Structure 1
């Protein structure tokens, strides 16, 4: 076969030839000798109407194809192009599937060329790309893509993409190519020849790549040695800020369209004052303040001038990436002196080279996702300096594989071991110890706190961003959680002696271990533990279902939730649960006793001893969690609950335990231990008061500064808040009527705003009801309806789909109330179905309410209302993300105007015009305003 590659792209009437969908346009590009030599394009008459959503997507109309040839007339011309060639497509299964279905239907031979899928190849060769759709890759690799969703244009772009991928393949080192060759047979693309040719070329090459080194047979990026320099600050803080913020300052020089925001400097000064006076501070910075830059500037000045590390903690990895990729490079241009920044995450984020090398050697029966994951990691190792898996996007089950090869599985490394200096996690720790600014996340910060500050390098001052999540994150880390999948994974990672498991391989490689290891007893006990785990979680599943029969008001967040108190359960069935939990702890303890003698063997290598200790530690963690959840004396200071997926597997059970009140723990264990903690967020106040957040976090009153930084946006001109006064009252059992009214309002507003709506619900049940009602009544050819939990994909995927399609309506709950940025014309209306009060029977809320009542406080005023106001502020904040944004917040819940507490919501958001009128009057006003 010569080096001929033929790229095809098809436009079709739908997604599946099995549903009688047809090809309406074919584009083909021929590549020979690394350049495009021929192109072919034709419309094809499908003998059916083209659906309007396809016309919207492609621009192809019924008129375009009415006089076009039918597939039969072009079949031979098309297949002739593929003689003696590779067939290439972006998602080859789709295009080849359609093509072969049509060929078979018209009596022609199907194509069986070797294939290359540019989606798969791009995932392997550019694992750090932001996405793998054709448009995303074209943008990433700077390939011009002027007319997406047209066959010939897409085929051309795919051809150019393939040439770039081929070029990239030729840069890979020998070791990477060798490993990829062993994985090739499990891939969808036929890459054997390309990989083999590259291997042969490298065999006879004398050229060395000075950026690559080899370790354990893996090609990895060589680490640049960073010089440690002494940094001096020879300016006062006031002059430092003047040189950045004021006229002709560095911001004006280095930022396009810079406009001075007085609030930004005010926040920088507040943060610095808190550091100097060794006070804690609560700083609410409304949208548009530029708070990240505002707190980083004083933090950097303080850390460098005092030579003491300052920690910055965020809630989401998205904000961590924003800090490192956007804010820090900008600040390096703004600040007149160098500074050191490091990012530190938990061990589970970093790859272990030793574990990965072993996994490559042993696992032979992998599924496709794991083979693809291994291939992606092999290429990524030649490029990564951090070994942090968040740099790349693995396929979904690839993350389960990564857990087994992460640094979390390393145990404690011996400083004399060669692995010590090749550990990405230890390298990240070393970097963290040398940094002026250490960026981490709330989860690791709270884990460090719960472990007596043994994980993070020491610090006395910190900035906690997205601070409204801090208490909730801390509660999780001072609590305990266990679920069926986690328990079985811990057991499966050890396995039995007869299978290709970790334990089976350990004993096969070290037959002398069998002298002290009782294999038969292990296998019997292991089987018992697995079965008991299954039985316990099935029993818990059934138990919650039965409680649901007795109490229909059980909290439902997509999962059923049941709060339990061991001393009050008392039924025969609950006693059986306790017995089963106890029995499982005995079985696991026996497994630990059988493993432990192996750690005492004189012949055991250090790395095997580490692995053994890690597995023993993980098994012990199941015992610890079971004891805390079921077998220790109940405490009024803790809340315990069970969640089940009612329509999921019969063991889809999740167990939780958390402290009821975090304030005393945070006050004693955190705020009194540290000099100065700055807590900031866009939502920390209720009616301009920080009291609620101060009490919730346990901040000592005498040592706290507060500041509320106003937004520079003109809310009174950019936003209208509209509340209908004629919706059915939900509390009289008229939920269906209310959902119907919400759905009608969505459709009416969608006509005014051309879609571009985000609808926020407080319950998944209401969201589902609205979605299915809308599906029946809305014109699906005109509007793209996307719903969390119903439409497939992650939160960021749903958001991207919403922004990609015109006239989209996005229905969301829980996580969509915050952290979703949709600037500009993509979003013109945020509709809030209900004020976001926690369900009164939510386990944590219920326990906190009881605790407040016992201390003589009003749970509604102290807990329910402030929580709801802060969540409402988050939802409100989705709409305006820039000075040019404009839109309507439509609140379907008239309690915001009618209830005594309604003003708490209105007084907690920026001042905007409020309309309280009939739905019809509101819609007329909305149309006029837009």
Structure 2
């Protein structure tokens, strides 16, 4: 007699209720029964709660009081519900709420529900590790689940049932060894969620599927072999057709200039309209013209780097078999040695153990090993810092042949197109001049490389979290020697902070820098990485500064190079260099080539049309900011935000100082206006995601929101620039820079400070217009553009790219309303 395995029976349940609280009344029940891996039965009913629904619940679910007045009491449906699910595993998306609420209602009617519980939210987080969000609506979109009538109980239950089947299928297609490793941590899942994994595991084949390799109990994808490259056509439009792309006149003109200028030995700067398709515009003619040479493309952000690889890079590989590769700094990759060591360690933190499961799944699907692919890392960033690569890999490592950073580094030598980002590009060419020597270089959005170069010449690290980490490490030092080193480091940093606040000693003496450097050399290589970078030998000037967060004072350690860096001196000799952007002209006095230090270059300006779907207003009624007290300034800004709120559009408010941002936030709190504030409600990425999800229609931000955060998810957006982003003239670096420029015979303000401010301003404005269909209205609340002698230079530079209007604030409100109405 054969032993036939009996598959478990699942009841997938969703409830709609009068609220999300524990005391809520059920108003709708949806149940889907799964047996033998198939949906075999459904059940649905309305329930009369004998109380009125809130407008929110009616709007959310579409259920009305009139509809429920005709529905049965729960007591009338309790028996059939209990009989249907009593011998099943209870499944729900956020099972705690549904199971507790239903069990309580059944108990009051004489039925005790003791079924095991499975949560599809947490299972989805483990087995779909690269998703941004795990709401049922998001999962339905990504996994093509049937959810036509969201927030009705049966529709949500049916979609959750389909999700459960997808999860079972996903688990079944994983290598058995991976699932076995996951089960070692599965008791950390909520309730009895591991039952789904156990059931699938019992039926899995032990054979390792094709395309995978197992090394020391870890399973990863086999590295992809290099493609045999096909030749591109000499004609640009022919290559476009092969890629199934339409011709665009502006793109054709841009590509023509790329090809035409190749034989000119000088670097070429090409200013072209945003949105013309510049990536194909430079890649196709260069790949066609030069058959054997490597093309290195550097772009502003890792996000854009990934986008190019996933779109243009993928299509070039599919159609022409071009080997494209993305290269990031080592810290972006997982270090398998460290990850394997963490698996051997028993962690009591449930969240860390869930990340281990998540990463085991991810290793079977990633081709890059880039931790940027993993979402929601911020909930336990310390663990990811532990497993990040440090660029050091022993040739005795068990994972040498499959180490992602090692493979990426080696592949970068053989690929035809290499895509990187500005920050890593600068780091790499400083360490390895041969990286681009003799190759073709394309700097995309070249104006941002200059801003990266400026940041590359200095560093800043916050000492508060470092002091906290030191305190935690000293509670359980690895050994006596480690304890002495950590105590020495703690003493040196504490002494710096005391001298700064008690004696106003800002400059850090060289002997103290050397002592801290020595201590850092002897601590674990992955600890205090930011501090090590800030104290690197390339920096010569070190000083302390302070800033205020919402709750306490922060102390910053700053470092800078002795000389002002120019790209022309820093860049190795290339076969050809292209600098492309929509923003190369800055003012009549300064262009980007000047700022980068180039004297002999070719500058091509392609025809530009004014940006569509975006308008800038300058507020002529704004008073002179320096004449205002901080309190009055914050009050004026909060009043303007309140008025803009009446337009019922998402609002991004950019500040140059945290203190004013927090003051405005407090005033909005006092007025009971819901908003998100950076550093108060979370870091930039976190509150950006919450803003995108619609948790609030107002976001207050600084820092990263000027530079690297795009707002592509908002079809409409109001952007408020509270102040022009000039450098602080009292900052140590700014003063030093001013002296150096003056000695070189330049005018520091007009030749540097003003152009950099214009670049930052344009960059911030560009954050709100990332797609063709978007509409963004920008209001600048700084009248220096209208009142200062340098104002016309800013006005002229902005007016070249954007429709620009000068109005009082009331008129701006009226025109903005019409602007959004005309969509």
Q: Pairwise mapping of residues 769-780 of structure 1 onto structure 2 (< 5 A)?
A: 769-777=663-671
Residue equivalent to 1:840: 729
Given the alignment, which residue of 773, 792, 812 partners 1:922?
A: 812
| Secondary structure in 1 matching 2:174 | coil
Aligned twin of 1:129: 131
Sort the Cα spacing of 1:108 and 1:407 in 2 relative to 1 into closer, same or farther, 3 A: farther
Query: Is it true that 1:343 corresponds to 2:330 in the alignment?
Result: no
Q: Give 1:301's match in structure 2, choosing from 288, 291, 294.
A: 288
Question: 2:400 matched to which residue of 1?
Answer: 420
In the alignment, the residues of structure 1 paired with residue 304 and residue 252 of structure 2 have an alpha-carbon distance, to the nearest angstrom, of 21
| C-alpha distance in 1 between matches for 2:668 and 2:30 | 37
| C-alpha distance in structure 2 between counterparts of 1:33 and 1:159, whole Å | 13
Corresponding residue SS for 1:28: strand
Q: CA deviation at 1:318?
A: 0.8
C-alpha spacing 1:392/1:747, structure 2 compared with 1 (3 Å): same
Give the whole-Å Cα distance in 1 for the aligned partners of 2:805 and 2:662. 28
Would you say the 8 A contact 1:381–1:387 is kept in 2?
A: yes
Give how far 1:433 is off: 1.2
Q: How many Å separate the matches in 2 of 1:309 and 1:401?
A: 37
Q: Which residue of 2 aligns with 1:287?
A: 274
Find out whether 1:864 has 2:759 as its counterpart.
no
Q: CA deviation at 1:344?
A: 1.8
- Cα displacement (A) at 1:435: 0.9
Unaligned runs of 5+ in 2: 1-5
SS at match of 2:184: helix
| Alignment partners' CA distance in 2, 1:588 and 1:395 | 26
Match of 2:585 in 1: 685
Matched, 1:728 2:711: no
Matches within 5 A, 1:651-690: 653-659=555-561, 661-664=563-566, 666-670=567-571, 673-687=573-587
Residues 350-369 of structure 1, C-alpha deviation per residue, up to 9 Å, x if partnerless? 33434433332x20124122
Structure 2 equivalent of residue 434 of structure 1: 414
Aligned residue pair count = 813
2:238 corresponds in structure 1 to 243
Please report how far the alpha carbon of residue 742 of structure 1 lies from its aligned counterpart in structure 2 after TM superposition.
3.3
Cα contact 1:786–1:802 (8 A) shared by 2: yes
The DSSP-based 3-state class of the residue aligned with 1:564 is coil
Q: State the Cα deviation string for residues 656-681 of structure 1 (Å, max 9, x = none).
A: 312264435x333315x334332333
Aligned match of 2:359: 377
Change (3 A) 1:722 1:187: same
2:481 to 501, 511, 525: 525
Map 1:483-562 → 2, pairs under 5 A: 523-542=479-498, 544=500
SS state of the match for residue 157, structure 1? helix
Distance in structure 2 (CA, Å) of the matches to 1:177 and 1:773: 52
RMSD: 4.1
Q: Is the 8 A contact 1:528 1:587 kept in 2?
A: no
Aligned-partner Cα distance in 2 for 1:874–1:755: 21
Deviation at 1:924, TM superposition (A): 3.2
**2:778 counterpart of 1:889:** yes
Matches within 5 A, 1:623-638: 638=541
Alignment of 1:390-401 (within 5 A): 390-393=372-375, 395-396=377-378, 399-401=381-383
- Of stretches 272-281 and 438-447 in structure 1, the one that deviates more from structure 2 is 272-281
Partner of 1:564: 506
Over 3 Å counting, the alpha-carbon distance change for 1:817 and 1:144 in structure 2 is farther
Map 1:707-746 onto structure 2 (within 5 A): 707-712=604-609, 715=612, 718-746=613-641
Matching residue of 1:276: 263
Is the aligned partner of 1:759 residue 2:628?
A: no
Report how far residue 183 of structure 1 moved: 0.9
Q: What is the TM-score with the length of structure 2 in the denominator? A: 0.86
Match of 2:603 in 1: 706
TM-score normalised by length of structure 1:
0.77
Q: CA deviation at 1:719?
A: 4.4
**Aligned-partner Cα distance in 1 for 2:180–2:439:** 49
Per-residue deviation at 1:867?
1.9
2:3 corresponds to? none
Change (3 A) 1:654 1:16: farther
Structure 2: distance between partners of 1:300 and 1:195: 48
Secondary structure of residue in 1 paired with 2:660: helix
Among residues 24, 31, 35, which one is paired with 2:34 in the alignment?
A: 31
Deviation at 1:311, TM superposition (A): 0.8
Cα-to-partner distance string for 1:565-590 (whole Å, 9 max, x where unaligned): 246xxxxxxx9xx76x666666667x
Other-structure match for 1:461: 440
Give, in angstroms, the shift of residue 144 of structure 1.
Answer: 2.4
Out of 566, 579, 596, the position equivalent to 1:697 is 596
For residue 555 of structure 1, what is the aligned residue in structure 2? none
Q: CA deviation at 1:457?
A: 7.1
